[in-house]
Amino acid sequence: MDSKLPLTLFAILMIGAFAWKATANSPQLFGDPFPGLTTAQLTQFDEGKDEFIAEETAADGLGPVFNGTSCAQCHSNPATGGDSDITEIRFGTITNNQFDPLTQFGGSLIQSQGIGPISASCNISGETVPSQATIVAKRRTTPLFGLGLVDNVPDRVFFAIADLQKRLTPQIAGRPNLVTDVFTNPNRLTVGKFGWKGQVPSLKQFAADAYLNEMGITSAPFPNENCPQGNCAVLTTCDLVHDPEDDGSGVEAFTDFMTFLAPPPRGAITRQVLAGELVFLKTGCAGCHLPVLETGRSSIAALDRVKFFPFSDFLLHDMGSLGDGIEQGRATGREMRTAPLWGLRARTTFLHDGGAATVSNAILAHDGQGARAKQRFNALTPNEVNDLLAFLNSL
C-alpha cells in the first residue's frame, strides 16, 4: 500500500478499529457462548460442546486412519474451541505443471495415527509422507472463536472487499477462494471462508470435513473413508462400521457449538495500545487484516446484522515464499487466506506452520503482497514497534 491509505479505505478502517473499543475489557472469557442466547440455543451450545470434547472410538467409526480422537484434542488453547501448536502435514507434487495431491498415496493430508493399537483385528499405523512428494507443508490448528459470525457474512461482502482492494490498493488486492458447498448447492461455487486456504465455505462443511479427515468418521456429504496411504483394500477388514458412520447428529452438534461460540474477548486498552493501533494503520497491515466486517440477516439474534472485529478480509493473497505450495480449490501454492488476528494474544506460535515464535518474526516472514508492510515495519522507530506489538497483543 502507499504510505497513506486511500481516504475511503482509511475511513472504513478507522471506524471499524475504533468501534471495537466499546467491547474492550468485557467479562466474556475465551470459550464462552455468545451473550444473550436463548435457553434453547444455550442447550445446543452445551450439547455441541459435549460432543466436541467426547472421544470417538472404533465402535463409533474412528479411523482406520485419523489425527485425533476428539475435536478438542487439537482445539484447546486457551479454552475449548481454540487453537493449538499441533501441526498437521499436507503433501503433493507437480505433475505436468499442475499440482498433484497424490491421492493414490493418501494425499494431500497425512493422517498420523492408525486404528492398529486400538483394534486387534486391524494392524494399521499412521501414514507417512511418500517418497513421490516434492511439496511438504505443515499447518497449525486454527482457532474457532467467533466463526459463527464469519459464517453469516454474505458472499457479496467478500466480493465487494476484493473489488475495493483492486480499485484502491491493487498491489495487495486479494480474491475469494471459490469452492463447492456440499450442503447447499454442489453445482454452484461459493466463497470459501475457513481453513488456511479458505478451502471450506461453511461451518457445517467444516464440521463434516474434519469428522472425516481428522477422525476418519464418514457422514452423508462425505461417505467415503480415507484409504490408509491410498490402500483401499484394507477397508474390508478395518472399516467395520457401516457408512455413513455419523447419522448427521455429530456434524450438527459440532456446527452448533462453533456457531454459538463467542469471539475472543478484547484485552485491556491502554494509551500504548491506542498508539499502536495507529501504527497498525500506518504500516498498511489493515489493508488485508481488515478490522471490521458485518453479518447479514439471521434468525439468530447474536448473528443478525452484527459488526464484528476479526482483523481479516478472509481473502486469498499471494504471499510469495510464505505460501505453502499446496493448492486447494482455486488457491494457488503461493496464496494463503488472511489469518484473523482476533485472539492473537492467546497464541504461542504464529504463521500457518507455527514457524514464528514471536509476532515480530511473523511480520518479518511476510513476503509477496505482504512484503511492503514488512518493509514499513522495519522502518518503524523502536517506540513505534513497541506500540504496535502492544496493540497486537491486546487482540
Same domain assignment for residues 227 and 113? yes
Same domain assignment for residues 205 and 119? yes
3-state secondary structure of 337: strand
pLDDT at 81: 98
Same domain assignment for residues 249 and 285? no
Q: How far is CA 268 from the centre of its chain?
A: 25
The Cα 83–Cα 208 span in angstroms is: 18
Same domain assignment for residues 311 and 244? no
Q: Which residue, among 263, 393, 390, 307, has the nearest Cα to 19 in the 3D structure?
A: 307
Asked if the structure places residue 127 within a domain, the reply is yes
Q: How far is CA 324 from the centre of its chain?
A: 15
The Cα 343–Cα 362 span in angstroms is: 15
pLDDT at 74: 97
Per-residue pLDDT tens listing for the chain (395 residues) = 333 444 444 445 444 555 455 445 567 899 999 999 999 999 999 999 999 999 999 899 999 999 999 999 999 999 999 999 999 999 999 999 999 999 999 999 999 999 886 666 688 889 999 999 999 999 999 999 999 999 999 999 999 999 999 999 999 999 999 999 999 888 899 999 999 999 999 999 999 999 999 999 999 999 999 999 999 998 888 888 999 999 999 999 999 999 999 999 999 999 999 999 999 999 999 999 999 999 999 999 999 999 999 999 999 999 999 999 999 999 999 999 999 999 999 999 999 999 999 999 999 999 999 999 999 999 999 999 999 999 999 99
Same domain assignment for residues 44 and 19? no
Q: Which of 234, 259, 284 is the last residue of a domain?
A: 259
Same domain assignment for residues 13 and 80? no
Residues spanned by the domain of 213 = 39-142+194-259
| CA atoms within a 13 Å half-sphere pointing along the CA-CB vector of 130 | 19
The Cα 395–Cα 257 span in angstroms is: 22
Q: What share of residues in the chain are helix, strand, coil (percent, to 5)?
A: 35, 15, 45
Same domain assignment for residues 272 and 359? yes
Q: Which of 217, 238, 259 is the last residue of a domain?
A: 259
pLDDT at 364: 98
147-178 pLDDT per residue, tens:
999 999 999 999 999 999 999 999 999 999 99
Q: Which of 259, 284, 306 is the last residue of a domain?
A: 259
Asked whether 320 and 331 are in contact (CB, 8 A), the reply is: no
Asked if the structure places residue 1 within a domain, the reply is no
Asked if the structure places residue 348 within a domain, the reply is yes
Asked if the structure places residue 210 within a domain, the reply is yes
Same domain assignment for residues 376 and 333? yes
Strand-strand pairing, 113-114 and 135-141 = unpaired
Asked if the structure places residue 208 within a domain, the reply is yes
Asked if the structure places residue 158 within a domain, the reply is no
pTM of structure: 0.93
3-state secondary structure of 266: strand
Alpha helices in 289-370 (DSSP H): 359-364
Same domain assignment for residues 207 and 273? no
Same domain assignment for residues 240 and 322? no
Residue found by looking up cell 440455543 in the block: 41
Q: Which three cell numbers stand for residue 73?
A: 484434542
Neighbours of 259 (CB within 10 A): 26
Asked if the structure places residue 218 within a domain, the reply is yes
| CA atoms within a 13 Å half-sphere pointing along the CA-CB vector of 190 | 19
Q: Which three cell numbers stand for residue 91?
A: 503433501
Q: Which residue, among 261, 133, 126, 127, has the nearest Cα to 206 in the 3D structure?
A: 261
Same domain assignment for residues 103 and 220? yes
Same domain assignment for residues 229 and 340? no
In the chain, the number of structural domains is: 2
Which CATH number covers residue 297?
Answer: 1.10.760
Provide the phi-psi class of 96: left if phi over 0, else alpha when psi is between -120 and 50, else beta: left
Asked if the structure places residue 50 within a domain, the reply is yes
